[in-house]
Amino acid sequence: MKKFDIPLHYKSPIISKVKAKRKLEDPRKKDFSPTHLNFGNVTFIISRHFGFCYGVENAIEKSYKAIQENPDKRIFLLSQMIHNPDVNNDLLSQGVRFIQDTDGTQLIPWDEIESEDIVIIPAFGTTVEIQELLESKGIDTVKYNTTCPFVEKVWNRSAKLGDLEHTIIIHGKHKHEETKATFSHSKENAPSLVVKDLAETKYLADYILGKLSTEDFLQFFDGKLSKGFDPLKDLKRIGVVNQTTMLASETQEITDFLRDTMIEKYGEASIKEHISDTRDTLCYATNDNQSATLELLNTQADLAIVVGGYNSSNTSHLVELLEPKFPTYFIKNKGEILSGDRINSFNIHTKELEEKSDFLPSKEHTNIIVTSGASCPDAVVDEVIQKLLELKEAPITIDQIEL
């Protein structure tokens, strides 16, 4: 796989060594067991896969090249390049400006963007409408387009499904930048609909099976349907694609549920005429990170620390997997670890930051799971580990640790 030119301050002494050793021992990534680092009175159980994925490293490399190659030009990002506050703040500190926020709210009017400006398209991609707007202004939308190739793979799969006259069912969060981009591209080729989870999928299935009225269906999915969507004729042939950062197991569950629904509606013999096999749209990095996190559930630990941006979908899903078994703390960086055994942890259910006391157990030896989202720099994870070592007053230093 290609090696990217990533700024040194995103790399780290601990995590880099761990990943290098695992790559040497397991080049085909078949072993999902975690790495154990014993510092005497605390052991860190580090996930096999975490941190920057291919798409994120590609986006970072292109974004920093844009800064280096255009010192005399204004540089903009359509929105946050990735969902990590440290990376985005670093770009802002170097003069990059965001045109929109993550919800699509306009921060800089389009009228202020000129043909001489540099506009970076983030890893999530962008909508057909925004790309056409940029091109109409004379903006180069190719050179600094950092759209993840695995997101583009979903778009290509959607186009093929459209050619086969299938309606596109997108498993994603309809307000997320990636899902908005995918929806924008898919509706160019086929009727499209966004479902957030299995509950919404079951509502869709009930309509397909004739248990709901068309009026109720249209009201329920208002804002999540392509223009002119006709459920009476557009749900006879379907294919499922996903926002690449969703839970892979949930996407598969949704696909399987809809397949069973179409069998109930049309029969097993003709099922291939009514739903397409789209397992090839699942992102490898999402699969690997989630598989490695599931492997962590087989370990014994006192708590889990998940590091990443609070608006990061893939990171929140790691929390979702871990919190049923372990006390799990979701933090953006070391700054959330406070004095006196206190920690600020983001609650993925209430969407609020909560201060927790006595998060480190009072025992002779503590086992701590550590992982991070695909948009989190290794250096940030490294700093979290070092902060925890200080709190535990670990007798073994980073320089002394044996991998």
Catalytic residues: 178
For residues 174 and 196, the answer to whether their CB atoms sit within 8 Å is yes
DSSP single-letter state for residue 34: P
- Tokens representing 321? 């997997």
Closest listed residue to residue 375, CA positions, set 103, 65, 24, 58: 58
Annotate 336-367 with b (16+ C-beta within 10 A) or e (fewer).
bbeeeeebbbbebeeeeeeeeeebbeeeeebb
Phi, psi of 74 (to 5 degrees): -75, 135
Residue 237's Cβ-side half-sphere holds a number of Cα atoms within 13 Å equal to 12
Annotate 216-248 with b (16+ C-beta within 10 A) or e (fewer).
ebeeebeebbbeebebeebbbbbbbbbbbbbbb
Q: Other C-beta atoms within 10 Å of 100: how many? A: 19
